Structure 1
């Protein structure tokens, strides 16, 4: 098991380094454009040259990369070119918001999709047809459109939830949870739709295996056969899909944070990209890759626990 974990950690570190390196050199490819973006279209060539020198962009790109990497491994991603705030500080302030939305959506996806998938596979009939129709409808529904509908219905008309804004959990746990309901639902619906279909397919395949009939012939209750044995064997497929959905959900938060005026990573990276703020873009990319690697590591560990054969790969 230790070797299994070490291999996953090593591959995760390699992935972070590769993506960070590629992102760094892609961003550095437009140094003059960055300076002009920061100074404006009316900037003279002398002003652009002075700005490039101030930012250190007039040095050899390999020297720039070595300097950035030596600080990044210590958790220092530099200072924002737009706000003069340390990038690490901005990430620490904003990351909890994005993770709250993404993790909340993943938990909602896991609970609802497993419930729907198991019911559809076990009960079949009209429940199966309803789940498949809802799955297609939910998958086809644009998250932006759904977010606007939720705001109109539950924030403006019914006033059950706030339309915009965020409350720190340290200030009010209930206020924090209420503020996340609409954003989480808005991005979770399509994930529930696709994941429920995958869980349904995996459960149908498992329930048709010979060992399931053997368990039933031995007098085990249907609850034990379905939840304890069949669901456990179908779980790796569901976990894999959920890990992929988590990556998609992180991307979806970029738009959702804008709609609900949430101070998360998504809104920060949009501003940084438009403003040519390379340190912030790099910091966000590295942090998001680390989060994805950690989530995939947890999923791999759960799969290894559920299916020991996975550990040998």
Structure 2
């Protein structure tokens, strides 16, 4: 911790404290997650080191960037970028009952999906998707944080039990003690989307038993008809009780009403007309999102007007994202 100067404690999450610090080297502000690992078996500690190494390699515009990690005095410290815009949970509470526009919700949601797709494509599960783990940068970009940390610490059952908090985002299969998979992340994604639409949790109850019952039944108050049928239908899909019936994050992004928004997060400010070929405009920023740079060559025969096939509008970007 010698390299950093503590500014203030900014939160206490499921697995430790979040401290705002200032780097003595570059003067930038960062957030340090302090996680107590004292007493953790050596095998579990080794697993946590491996997991953090995986997290450090994550690089995506919609994922909070990890800077470094180190162990000191029985704690694991993970240093990450500071999102000055705060988290989505605080943003929702600040609305004081005034609903967000559908435009705003979908722009945020698409960015969350792009981040989650990056994670799932690398065979990593987030395990702790909630509005408190979705952050906003100074310019309003959404960034997903804290993924993987829950998995690091799940080997310590006692810690997981004591720190689980109020489980608003648990999927029915977890409530029934079944294994966690990527479809449990999709359920939690549905919980976040519902929260953005209603400013409330989808599943709430006075005690744990009733909350679990509500989650297992999949019963939640309907979303206002103020929002489109597309949005409400998607929510119903995300809240399918059978995980196999829930869509993958890739197929969520394939939906036309979301697909049409992806490009604005892939394409930077447009250069002067004619200065850069269209393919480069798309592929240069697309590399940040893990989109391959290969551009399919079109044969001369395919270029003939008579043989040209109609353009399918709702697929190209999602194909690129796979």
Q: Which has the larger Rg? A: 1
TM-score by length of 2: 0.24
TM-score by length of 1: 0.24
Larger helix fraction of residues:
1
